[in-house]
Amino acid sequence: MIPRRVLFVCTGNLCRSPMAEYLLRDLARRRGLVVEVRSAGTHAVTGAPPTPDTIAVLQEWGIDASRHRSQPLCWELLDWADVILTMTRDQKEYLLMMDAELCGRVFTLPEYVGLAREEVSDPYGNTREAYRKVRDQLADLVQRLVAQWVGAAAPAHRGEKE
């Protein structure tokens, strides 16, 4: 079953969760899936743009995230989401400590696609190459997510021939 509303969560909502949000939006559009996607940060400020490297590595694949603005995680977003996908186990545990009733709706993104031991590391303050590695990891995870929803093999990365 395909969730209608997906919320990605990271720490600052400047790198990982916006990348995942825009990658999923792009892939869902290309696959003809109707899904709403948002992102938020456990410690985000309101209204900050993504890091320049986040914008740049997505733009390399033709995805424009320049209009994204950070938002802190709030109860309204948690209630809105059918599934909440974090980047790390610590973020997942943080959410479950906030509200144990989120159990069954909150997972790490890798865990949700069957890679429970993986996490998505934070590229903030690192090199552009580190951002590319995170983008590529997120693209793989998002493709696995969509493949799981539609029951098909994962498509090639956005930067590869499909």
Q: What is the DSSP letter of 48?
A: P
**Does the annotation mark 122 as catalytic?**
yes
Catalytic residue (one of 5, 38, 69, 122): 122
- Among 127, 130, 134, residue whose Cα is nearest residue 19: 134
Catalytic residue (one of 16, 25, 144, 158): 16
For residue 62, what are the contacts with CB-CB under 8 A and spacing of at least 6? 158
**Does the annotation mark 82 as catalytic?**
no
Catalytic residue (one of 10, 15, 53, 135): 10
**Does the annotation mark 15 as catalytic?**
no
- Judged on CB neighbours under 10 Å (0-12, 13-18, 19+), 125 is exposed
Q: What are the phi and psi torsion angles at 103 (to 5°)?
A: -55, 135
For residue 127, what are the contacts with CB-CB under 8 A and spacing of at least 6? none
Give me the DSSP letters along 56-75. Answer: HHHHTTT---TT----B--H
Catalytic residues: 10, 16, 122
